[in-house]
Every structure is written in C-alpha cells, then in structure tokens.
Structure 1
Amino acid sequence: MNTKMKWMAPLAGVLLLTACASGPKPPDWQLEAKGSMERSVTAYMEGNSRVEAAELGRARSQLSRTGRADLLATAELLHCATRVASLVFEPCAGFEKLRQDAAAPQIAYADYLRGQVQPQAIALLPEPQRAAAGGNAGAVLGIADPLSQLVAAGVLFQKGQASPAVVQRAVDTASAQGWRRSLLAWLNVQAQLAENGGDPGEAARLRRRIALTQGQAANAAKEKH
C-alpha cells in the first residue's frame, strides 16, 4: 500500500478506499474515487485550487453512487484535513451535512479538526492523532505520515499549543513534500514568531524564503532582464 493510500485510511477506517493490490480487484468507482481524492489532496497542498476542486468533484460523484454517507464523509474529512494542515480553519461544511449519518470515529475526527474533540472520544481517533489531541506537542514529531503530522501540528496551532519545534517540523515536512501552500502557511507562522521574538535578521531570512517559495524572486530576476 503506497503512502497516498495510507493518507485516507486513518480518516474513516473504511477498507473500501484503501484496498491493497494483493486483494480482489476493487470496483471501478472505488479506484476512481480513491485516485481523485489522492489527486485532490496533492493539488490543494501544492496550491493548485482548480485541479483540487475538479478532482474533489469527481470523487464526490463516484462516492455518491454508492448511497453510503460514511464513504462520502471520508472524502469530506480528508478535504477538510488538508485545510487544517495548511492552517486554514473553517467549518467542514461538506461533512456537517452528513454528520447525522456518520460513524462515531468520523464525528470524533471532525471535532478533532476543529480542536474540539471531547476527551472521551480521543480513543476513536486515528492512532497518530491521539497524543496530539491530548495536547502532547512532542507526539507530533514522532508521526511518520506527512499529512497526518501536518494535521496534528495544525490542530495544536489552532489551540495555541504548537511549540517552535512543532512549527519547524511542519515547515520541514511541507518543504520535503513540495507542498507549497502548506509550506507558505507554516513559514509565515515562523516569520511571525521571529518578529515577535525580536529577531529581525531571522524574520528577514524567512521572508526571503517565503518570496522564493511564491516564485517572486524568480519573477523579479526575469523582470530585470
């Protein structure tokens, strides 16, 4: 099972979306929905909103064919998780429409994304997120999956519990994956921390890195020529 497939597994525990190649061939709708969600996640994290919206629409269309609210809720949670990983905190509107028919772990995960999971529901969360849900910032550093790690870091930031070490790890992870949108969000946090900490030199360095990530430095060089 590849890394992208693993991204979806913790969000719902629905095996239909994470079937391994060694098992029976899954139906076409399943393969198409999974592929579209993977492309949607990657596109959003890289900053390509047009592709993200198109692929998400395809995934929703395929999943709605099953008439299963739990499968569609999985896609909506993954969609919202990418926002949290990129420090965009907004209601998970797509999931909320399905909440009354969602499974308990899905409801717990939705509440977790909002930083409002109840203590008794933490055990229902994916294992990598449980310690972070309890406020253990150090646990984020030990999460291997890149998206899961950024989601946990985003939840802690939302609650005002993200340490500088967590912010640095989020920057490093987003950078290593080439996830421009998420990287820019975390670099801006890091730059603000440097400014608030009275380190203008570090803040300036981070602003240059932000400009480079945005492509501004390259564009400015072209204009000079």
Structure 2
Amino acid sequence: MTHKTMPFARSLLAATLVGAFLAGCASKPPEPEWEMNAHGSAQKALDAYLSGNARVDKLEWERARAEVARTGRPDLLARLELLRCAAQVASLVVEPCTAFEALRQDAAPPERAYADHLAGRALTAPEVALLPAAQRAVATQGASGAALAAIEDPLSRLVAAGVLLQAGRADPAVIATATDTASAQGWRRPLMAWLLLQVQRAEAAGDKDAAERLRRRVAVVELAGGSK
C-alpha cells in the first residue's frame, strides 16, 4: 500500500474495523502473526482496488480474510469486510455490503453504524457518535460540500462523497471535490467512476462542451489500463 492510502486504512482499521491489528506497542507482546499478515494484506488489497488491479485486489483480500478467519471471530471478519465496502463506496459501486451483512449479527455497534453510514442511511445521534471522526460531519443531515472539504485524508474524503451521493446530498461541488481528490492520488478506479458521473450530468444538462472535455479526461485515464 502506498503512503497515500495508509492514513485512511490505519484510522478506519483502528476506529471501526480491525483495531486489534494496531493495538500492540513496544511495552506489549509482539502482534500475533495473523494480525500482521491480515493488516499487510488488507493494505495491499486496498491499494490494488483503488488502482484498478483486480487480480492483486482479489488475491490480497482472500489472504486477509484467511488470516482473520484463523481467529474464529466473526466480529473481526465483519470489520475487515467493511474496509472493502468503504473502498467500493468511494468508487461509486452502489450495491449492498453483502459480506458484512452476513456477519452483522456478530458485529459490534460501531461496525453496524458504519455499515449503515456506507449505505447512505440516516443515523441517530448516538450512531453518528460511533463513526470514525472523519465521517461524523457528513453523517449529519444537511451537511455536504463544506464538511467534505474539511476532511484531510483523501480516501476518507472519497468515502464521505460516496455516502453523500447515495443519500442524495451530493451537489456539483461534492462531485468535483471527489473527482479532484481521486485525480490527485492517481486512483484510477474511483477517478473513472466520478468522471463518468460528471459526463452523465453534463449530458443531462445539455452542456456538450463540458461533456466532451470530461470524455477527454476519461480517455486519458483509460490509457492507464488496469482491470475492472
């Protein structure tokens, strides 16, 4: 995983996903092998997913799942699945987080709240308080562009943008911010998704010049190759 995706993975894993992976410190016993392996594979899988490398993405997620499965703890596996679902939301893959839902009954309240947030559902105040700090502002009804721009971590910002879109609260500024964020990081998969959304909206508005300009950007991204 590149240093660009590391902050998001660390904050998400620590706050709502596999916090046990990062719980060790020098004064405690070394992390078990499964923790180190699962954490490393999850990071590699996330980076591969964002860059559009389907082969590595699939392989590393399978490795991460296998390592977590060694614990026999469905709650930890549920946390891991949420990381993948978050990356999908950032890339506008709008579909149920079925892998998590199969484990929901064993998931802790923060994971259940985060899954509902990713699905664009309205949360109660206590549920919002369980979310990662970067997501709390956008989970509040009425929040949109300003709250999104305040999120420092690029991937957290993209996840929040995807949530706003699913909730019907993504104005043009939100979409532009998401596109610029993915572009700046060179994340092919989410960039292509947000650009194509902009093309659709430009065409719907009858703005042929903007649509053509965006299609030229799409053509450049396609040069990067990768697997969907």
CA drift at 1:7: 4.2
CA contact (8 A) 1:46 1:181 kept: yes
- Taking structure 2 as the reference length, the TM-score comes to 0.88
TM-score, scaled to structure 1:
0.89
**One-letter amino acid of the structure 2 residue matched with residue 203 of structure 1:** A
Of structures 1 and 2, the one with the larger relative CO (CA 8 A, separation 6+) is 2
Question: 1:78-114 deviations in whole A, cap 9, x for unaligned?
Answer: 0111110000111111111111111001001111111
Counterpart amino acid of residue 62 in structure 2: G
Aligned counterpart, 2:128? 122
Which of 156, 162, 165 matches 1:148?
156
Look up the equivalent residue of 2:129 and give its one-letter code.
Answer: A
Relative to structure 2, which stretch is displaced further, 191-200 or 61-70? 191-200
1:188 aligns with 2:196: yes
**Which of residues 12, 15, 19 is equivalent to 1:15?**
19
Structure 1 gap ranges (5+): 218-225
Matched, 1:41 2:46: yes
Q: Deviations over 1:101-140 (max 9, x none)?
A: 1100100111111111432422211111112112311211
Amino acid at match of 2:108: A
Amino acid at match of 1:18: L
Match of 2:36 among 12, 31, 35: 31
Select 2:62's aligned residue among 54, 57, 63.
57
Deviation at 1:190, TM superposition (A): 1.5
Greater fraction helix: 1
Please, what is the CA RMSD of the aligned residues?
A: 2.0
Residue pairs, 1:35-184, within 5 angstroms: 35-120=40-125, 121-135=127-141, 136-137=143-144, 138-184=146-192
Aligned residues: 216
Larger CA deviation: 3-12 vs 46-55: 3-12
Q: Is the 8 A contact 1:108 1:117 kept in 2?
A: no
| Shift in Å, 1:22 | 5.1
Structure-2 change in CA distance of 1:128 and 1:110 (3 Å): same
Native 8 Å contact 1:6 1:18 kept in 2: no
